[in-house]
Amino acid sequence: MKTIRQLTILGSTGSIGESTLDVVARHPSRFQVFALTANKSVEKMLAQCQLFQPRYAVLLDANSAEKLSVAIRNNGLDVEVLSGVESLEKVASLAEVDTVMAAIVGAAGIRPTFAAARAGKQVLLANKETLVMAGRIFMDEVKEHHATLLPIDSEHNAIHQSLPDRFSGNLTKDGIRRILLTASGGPFRRSSITELENVTPAQACAHPNWDMGRKISVDSATMMNKGLEVIEAHWLFNAAPEKIQVVIHPQSVVHSMVEYIDGSVLAQLGNPDMCTPIAHAMGYPERIESGVPSLDMFKVAQLDFEAPDLARFPCLRLAYQALADGGNMPAILNAANEIAVESFLEGRMSFTAIPSMIEQTMQTVTQSNVTTLDDVLEADKLAREVALEWLVGQV
């Protein structure tokens, strides 16, 4: 008889969190929700608590947590409401928890994800920033505490599925020539650079294939999302930057590929639905139902591939640069990008100013080594200050 796995979802009200709960609902005999967490989404969190009845509900924002606590009592639910980052760390590391879905968007997700790794949990990693900002430190924690790390990004999950069953962590030893990381190209793949100057937030968030949150949608539109994924792939698969090739694939059917030295290229294909990689990771090493419809190859009919245009998408170039520079530079890149995207969505600067802010921040902040999580968070803080100063200077 299978043991029911106890699951903590960090970021349960976001798109990944909601897809995770969809998979959970399909397998009540396999998974039980232990804790749900979010930033300040009281109504969504209440609805999720009513449906899944976790032991804990955590909201990062204290005022929102108080409102949720009142609503929980009024609805007669037996759910303990907590607040703050320390509570996120708690529900990610408690002994009762088997699996942690790390799906908080942004730097806010780093500390609880680290807590899950240090507690030796099965970590389903959807939070890019953990690897982008603190890749070496995090991978060391995973190894030291014997945590299990499974990637949730569709691209990294596809690579994981296309690697040998017992991947050694050494591409050369396993006969791998390179990793081919696919990208849709976003909504502006064919737009001229002049047209990009007048892009609105609504246009940037209208991804042609994927249903994602606003921040990730903008990252996809600038291709920073793919740049961050290059950095992630470097740490996940111990791949040198030159071994990671970004390939524009507008249909988003081939989610990524692995090329071997004998000329074989193994790919993972499927409909563009995050429930597929989520179900793969949650059931691993078994396969479980995801609810995603079968891929209709006759409807797809054609698969296109092309090289990325770094003039149209300078954010991708900046990500490769940050990875090559190392140290605190990936954290600086990420922090500046978060400020840039937020400022763009608020209408405080143009779409084409996003890479300008990031590049200027990278040039301003002094490069240095990082050896602890505090070093990473300090780099994040400094980069945000520099980026905001740059924004003020542009007004």
Give the per-residue pLDDT at 186: 85
Walking along the chain (395 residues) 10 residues at a time, the average pLDDT comes out as 88 95 97 97 97 97 97 97 97 98 88 97 94 96 97 96 93 97 90 88 80 82 95 97 96 96 98 96 96 96 94 94 96 96 95 96 96 94 96 82
DSSP assignment of 6-69: EEEEETTTSHHHHHHHHHHHH-TTTEEEEEEEESS-HHHHHHHHHHH--SEEEESSHHHHHHHH
Structure tokens at 339: 């400020």
CATH code: domain 326-395 is 1.10.1740.10
CATH code: domain 5-151 is 3.40.50.720
Helix (H) or strand (E) holding 142: helix 128-144
> Any idea where the domains of the chain sit in the sequence?
5-151, 165-270+296-313, 326-395
Structure tokens at 215: 């921040």
Do the Cβ atoms of 156 and 233 come closer than 8 Å? yes
**pLDDT tens digits, 241-256:** 999 999 999 999 999 9
DSSP 2: P
Give the per-residue pLDDT at 214: 84
Please list the alpha-helical segments (H only) found in 145-242.
154-162, 193-196, 201-204, 214-222, 224-237
Give the per-residue pLDDT at 394: 81
**pLDDT tens digits, 66-93:** 999 999 999 999 999 999 999 999 999 9
